[in-house]
Amino acid sequence: MGLLEAIILSVIAASTPLLLAAAGELVVERSGVLNLGVEGMMIMGAACGFAGAWFTGSTFLGALCGIAAGAALSCVFALLTLGLAVNQVAAGLALTILGVGLSGLIGAGFVGEKISPAPNLYIPLLTSIPFIGRILFGQDLFVYFSVALVAAIWWFLYRTRAGLVLRAVGDSHTSAHALGYPVLKIRMFAVLFGGGCAGLGGAFLPLAYTPFFIPGMTAGRGWIALALVVFSSWLPGRLAAGAYLFGAVTILQLHAQAFGLGIPSQLMSSLPYLATVVVLVLISRARGTAGSAAPASLGMVFVPDR
């Protein structure tokens, strides 16, 4: 039971940055924008989040710095794709490269430094319940916020008029514009929100997952978050399930190596990314179901005619 509890706790921790980044990207893509710069925004959030926590001694302020870093990079993306109508794929890839390089520059002076990780919640009696106590009542605030974020996004998209308008913009920006909705403004706020979530997901890594910063510590999690949005068919509930599934793959391959199964460690380390490729292939074959769920205007440049 102790080993199972440790595995579940590790899976939750590994899934949280994926869930935070993917939740923000789901909102972005629902508005019709394809942001491939999630990886760059995550690593910028990690670098700036650690720097903020190191200077201030506050995990909360470090998280805010991570959110600000991701949102700032998303501002550049919004300026290029919404203001100048640049190709979204090219702009996203360019920002990923920019974010990786800039984060290395910002974090160079913090390599080898350590901070106190985000504290876990402790509720008397409840946290002490065998097995489920630490799982349900002993996580850090990042974990609870990620779950609440997914629930809030579901409520916003399907229970509010603003969510309906955002989905309408993603499905047909021309029709939404004809009805008088500010398409570019709506997409700008969606992009900023997605960038902030990606920055927070990146900040989780040095602030809670590991109490130090190393260059490239996101290790492709931004790309997995992008795949999760497709895997979930742009639905928040499936997104949460997919994030924990991919987190489980990441953790179980580590335990498989520890058990000495004789499988090359390089192959085991590639399993999360191999699973991403397999999922995308399976979804592409089921175009009749998953493909129809994609926003119809996803990735299309919009230039208002008046």
- The residue among 73, 64, 84 whose CA lies nearest residue 28 is 73
> In angstroms, what is the C-alpha Rg of the chain?
19
Please check the confidence at residue 303 and state whether its pLDDT lies above 90. Answer: no
Place of tokens 């497709």: 230
Residue 93 has pLDDT above 60, yes or no: yes
Nearest to 101 by CA among 192, 223, 216: 216
Task: Report whether pLDDT(284) > 70.
Answer: no
pLDDT value, residue 275: 72
Q: For the segment 261-277, what is each residue's pLDDT rounded down to a tens digit?
A: 666 766 766 777 777 77
Among 66-75, 87-96, 117-126, 150-159, which is the least confidently predicted range? 117-126
Q: 34-73 burial by CB neighbour count: b if 16+ within 10 A, else e? A: bbbbbbbbbbbbbbbbbbbbbeeeebeebbbbbbbbbbbb
| Entry field: residues in the chain | 306
pLDDT in tens, 139-174: 999 999 999 999 999 999 999 999 999 999 999 999
DSSP per residue over 215-231, as a string?
A: TTTTTTHHHHHHHHHHH
In this prediction, residue 3 carries a pLDDT of 81
Cα gap 207→59, rounded to integer Å: 6
Which of 279, 269, 268 minimizes the C-alpha distance to 227?
A: 279
Q: CA–CA distance from 194 to each of 64, 90, 205, 248 (Å)? A: 14, 18, 18, 24
Q: At 140, is the secondary structure helix, strand, or coil?
A: strand
For the stretch 199-243, pLDDT in tens is 999 999 999 999 999 999 998 899 999 989 988 889 999 999 989
pLDDT value for 257: 64
What residues have CB less than 8 Å from 185, skipping those under 6 apart? none
pLDDT in tens, 5-22: 888 999 999 999 999 999
pLDDT for residue 116 is more than 80? yes
Q: Is the pLDDT of residue 134 over 50?
A: yes
Contact between 197 and 35 (Cβ < 8 Å): no
DSSP for 154-188, written as a single string = HHHHHHSHHHHHHHHHHH-HHHHHHTT--HHHHHH
Q: Which domains can be identified in the chain, with CATH numbers?
A: 2-293 (1.10.3470)
| Residue 225 structure tokens | 């978050």
22: left (phi over 0), alpha (psi -120 to 50) or beta: alpha
d(CA 184, CA 260): 54
Long-range contacts of 283-286 (CB under 8 A, 24+ apart): 283/230, 283/231, 283/233
pTM, to two decimals: 0.92
**Does residue 291 have a pLDDT over 50?**
no
What is the model's pLDDT at position 261? 62
Sequence-ordered list of residues with C-beta below 8 angstroms from that of 301, at least 6 positions apart, any chain: 81, 85, 86, 87, 88
Cα 3–chain centre separation: 28
- What percentage of the chain carries pLDDT values higher than 70? 90
User: What's residue 260's pLDDT?
Assistant: 65
How would residue 290 be classed by pLDDT, with cut points 50, 70 and 90? Answer: very low
- What's the mean pLDDT in 194-202? 97
- Whether residue 186 is predicted with pLDDT greater than 90 in this model: the reply is yes
Mean pLDDT lowest for which of 54-58, 90-94, 127-131, 282-286?
282-286
